[in-house]
Amino acid sequence: MTAPAAPAHDIVLEVLEGCAPFARAEAQQLGEANLVGPTEVRLRTADLTGVKSLRRVVAAYLVLRIPARRPTELLETSVQQEIAESIALIRRSAPKPRFTGVRLRAAGADTAPMRRLESEIAAGADLPVQEDGDLVVRVRKAKDLLVSGRSALAPALPPGPAWELLIRLTPRPLATRAWRTVNYPGAVNAAIAASALDILDVGAEDSLLDMTCGSGTFLIEQLHEAVPERIVGVDLSAEALAAASAHQRAARRRGRIDWLQGDVLTMPLEGGFTRLISNPPWGTLLGEHETNEELLRALLGRAEELAAPSARLAILTHEIGRMESVIAGGTGSWSLLQEHRFFQKGHHPRLFVFERTQG
């Protein structure tokens, strides 16, 4: 006798603009996943543990769709019971999360009905209401979701006026990695790093170099995918490399990374890399704009020296104008394959992907 299939849940995946196609492809390994906007993927799956291991999303929420016209209807006992049961389900799902307080996020979160809703949810979960609570519940009016002309809602969900409660599955956003124990200024968002590595298309047969590795985000993210034969991270800063090594230890993944301190432009380094990546200093946070342009140009040149034939190079930078002016001045044997835009809290980093075409 086979065990009955576990019931599937409706999940909302919050994503950064630019990460959505990669988040969707990753989520499709768990169930039917649809893009319903530039920053949202809807997924149906019974595998909550699998959802918590998604690496290209910012945060994942269990969705309750409640037929209701007004938020006050969400205070009804049957609805409160449903919410409490969903929170209990989330708390039972491995790895078991430990929440410390409830925080409601909604348009009009300060209105009396929303405040009451927040305290009822908190009481049902036996937790306090906290301004920085880690059991995050988003409340919003439900929209009818159409994907390719058909409803993206689960078949059992009734159409008509409804509200949605989105209960976050984890105390911290998924993009805030457990391995990130050191706060390194300028570190790239891990969901963007994972998506950028998808675009660069790194495999087990590759040798991978991060020319300006900082706290090691790209290389540690790659350890969660196919582990390349050779992995090298270079940075000028001893502090950066100490952070990168600490992060690698905390990530506890198989695979060796050589962390090397020095100026990647001049230090002796055995070449032959098939995949190269760099997220050079940008703005005034790290480095100066003018020297950043020279650095971008120099990185392209040095990457040529260190690359195998047909290698690929990806540069993630906020310095779009300067990168474009470097490209206009000539990129040697690198041909620009594509540009991919990301969007994160007012920043617009862009990934420039090159392929080595001669020599």
Binding site for ligand SAM (CB under 6 A): 184, 186-188, 212, 214-215, 217, 234-237, 240, 263-265, 279-281, 286
Residue 141 or 341: the one with the smaller Cβ distance to ligand SAM is 341
Phi-psi region of 149 (alpha: psi -120 to 50; beta: other; left: phi over 0): left
Return d(Cα 119, Cα 127) in angstroms, integer: 9
Residue 134 or 235: the one with the smaller Cβ distance to ligand SAM is 235
Minimum distance from residue 269 beta carbon to ligand SAM (Å): 11
Minimum distance from residue 278 beta carbon to ligand SAM (Å): 8
Minimum distance from residue 112 beta carbon to ligand SAM (Å): 44
Minimum distance from residue 228 beta carbon to ligand SAM (Å): 17
Residue 23 or 187: the one with the smaller Cβ distance to ligand SAM is 187
Backbone angles phi, psi at 22, to 5 degrees: -75, -35
Residue 58 or 139: the one with the smaller Cβ distance to ligand SAM is 58
The answer to whether 244 touches 234, Cβ cutoff 8 Å, is no
Residue 235 or 304: the one with the smaller Cβ distance to ligand SAM is 235
Residue 69 or 347: the one with the smaller Cβ distance to ligand SAM is 347
Minimum distance from residue 244 beta carbon to ligand SAM (Å): 7
For residue 60, the one-letter residue type is A
Q: Which helix (H) or strand (E) holds 198?
A: helix 190-200
Residue 113 or 186: the one with the smaller Cβ distance to ligand SAM is 186
Which has the closest alpha carbon to 179: 193, 166, 168?
A: 193
Which has the closest alpha carbon to 276: 341, 346, 197?
A: 197
Beta strands per DSSP E along 190-325: 207-210, 230-235, 258-261, 273-278, 307-317
Residue 103 or 177: the one with the smaller Cβ distance to ligand SAM is 177
Shortest Cβ contact with ligand SAM: which residue? 214
Q: Which helix (H) or strand (E) holds 52?
A: helix 48-52
The answer to whether 305 touches 276, Cβ cutoff 8 Å, is no
Structure tokens at 195: 């998506």
Minimum distance from residue 217 beta carbon to ligand SAM (Å): 3
> How many angstroms separate the Cα of 262 from the Cα of each of 185, 258, 278?
19, 13, 15
Structure tokens at 5: 């299939």
Residue 8 or 236: the one with the smaller Cβ distance to ligand SAM is 236
Strand-pair category, 135-141 with 102-106:
parallel
Minimum distance from residue 290 beta carbon to ligand SAM (Å): 14
Minimum distance from residue 183 beta carbon to ligand SAM (Å): 10
Return d(Cα 33, Cα 54) in angstroms, integer: 13
Minimum distance from residue 38 beta carbon to ligand SAM (Å): 24
At residue 270, the 3 state secondary structure works out as: coil
For residue 131, the one-letter residue type is E
